[in-house]
Structure 1
């Protein structure tokens, strides 16, 4: 490379760019993202110290968290005017939050290029519920509860739940709800080997706060409505 070529590369003129091509636009927690990372060289040769692929989620109004990461390659010489295609597979954690309300997730693909502006590509991804998660949401709605918000609750590093955060779904009784013991309800879930552990925090009309759990297997969606009704109608609430 000539000295002028080095100058152009360091200044970011005619530099490489990166683009990520996804196989689809929606994924479920625990699913593997299958993508292609395309590198388009500029007018000069450039050394790429690393290619990084990561998934991030919004966990607050101004906070975000990296929930998955991998390094595709290191120490690549990208020849001028060339195109390099790299396949990538990255598994989403089981606790990946569902896209809802202000909660969203995205992919970052970045290049580490010495003495240059590092190119990045950002792609939003839509995270949809698993079949069991959707069964929970459907059962709550069928009980006459109205969804009124969703938020992320960060957890301490030593939490027994073994997760960095919980996604909490907020509900209130609708006009057709028969759950007279519930004035408000917060539902979160913890992925298990063959299902979910539901974490239910609810308040009674008299102001009593209660915390209960319910194990939901992947194959018991048809019984879930009745189980939730019995649990939330109980007058012997666990503190």
Structure 2
């Protein structure tokens, strides 16, 4: 009977199970994500080599002129050394770590989750997935508010694979596309795209793309060649928040 149970456990039947319980499922960038991993023994004793947590996110990649959804590991942590889980036994492993600042915020179709895995030799590894909602930093929130105040509406937010010279350590960036629906920029711009690169909780680098609206034949020619797009890099600190609306409006106006 013992040998039969081992065979079943090797294909996941009657094997150990894992369940991760998060203390909070909504977090801001930089906050600590805490919880406990609960491992429950199956029908036999099993050697667990590792418990690992992976923070994952979705992004899109262009393949043959169509969008394909991919997954990226943002960070990975090992939270336990090798141990034996006995049949029917329960063990708990608490964890705590900071949510990386380059984690995409969960807006639009972007999904972020914590993947838990047990590493068991010669057996199917038990896993668990827990989705989390990621909120922006204070500086990022200030930018969103200023864009709204200036008459822009967030049209789309998407994580996209991008070139090495644009991205940082991850294979993608999260783009936020704003349309001018009122105010002075309506009719002057097609859109403004912003990519955030948070350096710290109180500091964030912005890559801003200003897409001017075509005016006349020269404008149409420039638009066809993408010459109507301007890229701007700027770093914002928390002390800039009070004057951010004036500063950002002036910056966009310069390239409108």
Query: 5+ residue gaps in structure 2?
Result: 61-67, 215-222
Counterpart of 2:178 in structure 1 is: 171
Partners of 2:108 and 2:166 in 1: CA distance: 27
Counterpart of 2:230 in structure 1 is: 210
Partners of 1:139 and 1:163 in 2: CA distance: 28
- What SS class does the counterpart of residue 36 from structure 2 fall into? strand
What is the CA deviation profile of residues 182-214 of structure 1, one whole-angstrom value per residue up to 9, with x for unaligned ones?
221111112224411111101112242111122
Counterpart of 1:88 in structure 2 is: 95
Relative to the length of structure 1, the TM-score reads: 0.90
Counterpart of 2:80 in structure 1 is: 73
What is the CA deviation profile of residues 107-128 of structure 1, one whole-angstrom value per residue up to 9, with x for unaligned ones?
1001122222211100101001
Report the RMSD for the aligned CA atoms in angstroms. Answer: 2.0
Q: Comparing both structures, which one devotes a greater share of its residues to helix?
A: 2
Shift of 1:10: 2.4
Partners of 1:228 and 1:107 in 2: CA distance: 35
Partners of 1:183 and 1:12 in 2: CA distance: 54
Contact 1:171–1:185, Cα closer than 8 Å, also in 2: yes
Counterpart of 1:19 in structure 2 is: 19
Counterpart of 1:151 in structure 2 is: 158
In the TM superposition, 1:26-37 aligns within 5 A as 26-37=26-37
Contact 2:167–2:173, Cα closer than 8 Å, also in 1: no
Partners of 1:121 and 1:222 in 2: CA distance: 43
Partners of 1:116 and 1:96 in 2: CA distance: 32
Shift of 1:155: 4.1
Shift of 1:84: 0.2
- What SS class does the counterpart of residue 9 from structure 1 fall into? helix
Q: Which moved more, 1:89-98 or 1:37-46?
A: 89-98
Partners of 2:138 and 2:155 in 1: CA distance: 22
Aligned positions, number: 234
1:219 is the counterpart of 2:219:
no
Aligned to 1:125, which of 122, 125, 132?
132
What is the CA deviation profile of residues 37-78 of structure 1, one whole-angstrom value per residue up to 9, with x for unaligned ones?
000111211111211111000111421100010112232110
Relative to the length of structure 2, the TM-score reads: 0.84
CA distance 1:6–1:209, change in 2 (3 Å): closer
Q: Which moved more, 1:74-83 or 1:118-127?
A: 74-83
Partners of 2:8 and 2:190 in 1: CA distance: 65
- What SS class does the counterpart of residue 118 from structure 1 fall into? coil
Counterpart of 1:195 in structure 2 is: 203
Shift of 1:177: 2.1
Query: 5+ residue gaps in structure 1?
Result: none
